[in-house]
Amino acid sequence: MGKKIDCSKVNPASGCGHVVRGKDVEEVLKKAAAHAEDHGMKPTQELLDKVKSFIENE
């Protein structure tokens, strides 16, 4: 089973509809960190912890 995270759940203010998908938590976190940089955000530990809390199975 894969994992996913909706950008809009982590950062509702962004209005971003991007969904990050990966085969496991590690891959989703890595891609989410890269996506955060697309938003000009630093993928800090705090941000990644927040991302982690919104990861869903799919």
Contact residues for Zn ion, defined by CB under 5 A: 7, 16, 18
Query: Least distance (Å) from Zn ion to the CB of residue 45?
Result: 19
Q: Which residues make Cβ contacts (< 8 Å) with residue 4, sequence separation at least 6?
A: 19, 20, 21, 22, 28, 55, 56, 57, 58
Query: Least distance (Å) from Zn ion to the CB of residue 23?
Result: 20
Query: Least distance (Å) from Zn ion to the CB of residue 34?
Result: 11
The residue (of 9 and 18) whose beta carbon lies closer to Zn ion is 18
